[in-house]
Amino acid sequence: MELTAAKKKVPNPADVHVGARIRMRRMILGISQEKLGTALGVTFQQVQKYEKGATRVGAGRLLEIANYLGVPVSYFFETAVLDALERRGPGGAIVTANDEFDQFVKSSEGIKLNSAFLGINDPAVRRHLLDLVVSMSRTGQEN
């Protein structure tokens, strides 16, 4: 009898996508994993598993989450990442979008930056801030 190492279960890309959208919306609203877990009747560890895609979110639970976070269920299936889930690579493997932009937008810094930027009411100020960030990103780089 041959002993084999237990294979680590790889989360389904759709579950990872839904979990990331749950996390992003929760963070936008400033809700902790513990508070969301309490509202759902689960532990914060279970919320972590949902957000990482390690545990699949059932339809009923997703509806509860959507209602609590104030979004339609379709919110969790939006963005270009979902379109990428439909593509298949060599050997039929699912290919997911995992670009830097998507990662940044879902990060704590990306969410905070977006919220703060949207809080600036004056379009001229927003444009100046954007120009400043663009000029700073080019510092030390060839144009």
* Architecture of the CATH domain 13-97: Orthogonal Bundle (1.10)
Percent of the chain scored above 70 by pLDDT? 75
Is residue 101 over pLDDT 50?
yes
Q: What's the whole-number average pLDDT of the chain?
A: 81
DSSP string, the chain: ----PPPPPPPPHHHHHHHHHHHHHHHHHT--HHHHHHHHTS-HHHHHHHHHTSSPPPHHHHHHHHHHHTS-GGGGG-SHHHHHHT-B-GGG-B-----HHHHHHHSHHHHHHHHHHHT---HHHHHHHHHHHHHHHTTTS--
| Domain boundaries defined on the chain | 13-97, 107-143
- pLDDT of 4 reads 52
Is residue 133 over pLDDT 80?
yes
Is residue 97 over pLDDT 60?
no
